[in-house]
Amino acid sequence: MRMPISAAIGLIMTGAFFLAAIFAGVIAPYGMGEIVGGVWDPVSDKHWFGTDAIGRDMLTRMIYGGQTTIFVATAATALSFITGSILGFTAAVTGGWADQVLSRLVDLVMAIPSLILALVILSVTPVTLPVLILVIGLLDATRVFRLSRAVAVDITVMDYVEAARLRGEGWAWIIFREILPNALSPLVAELGLRFIFAVLFISTLSFLGLGVQPPLADWGGIVKENSAGLVYGIPAALIPAFAIAALAISVNLVADWVLGRTTSLKGGRG
């Protein structure tokens, strides 16, 4: 299938963001915390995005901030999908009390707004990158659980799943060889949404002061550091906001294309 222009643009933009995050130490013109100019210096040949509230190069801060934001969001998304999909498929396949316990536990967690629950947890725990990944990943896993369970419940009644059960296949075979390939399409669509949700979540937490902590940088923290400049017409706080929007759009363009590919290939396994 030929890749549409929108998907190609999204793939190029997404790839550029991830490459900049991977090679941040190589392409950043200055050190992450290095003060190289005055307060909110304008755009110049030395500082393509100007400087921030204490004179650090904004381009450098954006590159390192993107590295942290993308790393945390990617790790949290991976954790949420591994945990949520396996538990969701397991609940659908086993049924009975296991399904009821997992479903009611997920309902309980989802009844509390995720941001409020995360703020409560982070206010009493050390705010480190592993803790942030764990909190965001596990909270997001509840959404993945609901989706994967709903999809798996419909698949488990198919003839090829019943045939696998009659052959004596275990739950692991049924989940990974029968359900997962046929649940790929909605999970792929959800993957892009969950990744963007993780980016927005970590940025929100950082803006509120309970996300990525100094000396590390992330896009939400950069917005917070430079938000006072908006009163004086300084656009430094808007640059990371545009970066978040661009990443969200590019990932969604790719996810839509992949969803179209997987949907065209869907079908029950005989």
Return all residues near 47 (Cβ < 8 A) that are at least 6 apart: 36, 37, 41, 57, 58, 59
3-state helix, strand, coil in the chain (%, to 5): 75, 0, 25
Please check whether residue 79 lies inside any domain of the structure. Answer: yes
Sites in the chain below the pLDDT cut of 70: 1, 262-270
Whole-number pLDDT of residue 136: 94
Please check whether residue 269 lies inside any domain of the structure. Answer: no
> DSSP letter string over 23-41?
THHHH-SS-TT-B-SSTTP
Whole-number pLDDT of residue 219: 93
Please check whether residue 38 lies inside any domain of the structure. Answer: no
Burial class (CB in 10 A: 0-12, 13-18, 19+), 74: middle
Whole-number pLDDT of residue 262: 62
Please check whether residue 30 lies inside any domain of the structure. Answer: no
Whole-number pLDDT of residue 141: 92
Domain of residue 91, CATH code: 1.10.3720.10
Q: Residue 51: helix, strand or coil by DSSP?
A: strand
Q: Which domain holds residue 254?
A: 5-22+54-264
What is the pTM assigned to this prediction?
0.86
Please check whether residue 270 lies inside any domain of the structure. Answer: no
Please check whether residue 113 lies inside any domain of the structure. Answer: yes
Whole-number pLDDT of residue 240: 92
Whole-number pLDDT of residue 268: 43
Whole-number pLDDT of residue 158: 78
Residue 76: name the closest of 176, 246, 259, 218 by CA.
Answer: 218
Please check whether residue 32 lies inside any domain of the structure. Answer: no
| Residue bearing tokens 């430079």 | 226
pLDDT in tens, 41-100: 888 888 889 888 888 999 999 999 999 999 999 999 999 999 998 898 888 888 788 888
Q: Give how many domains the chain has, as a whole number.
A: 1
Whole-number pLDDT of residue 1: 56
Whole-number pLDDT of residue 263: 60
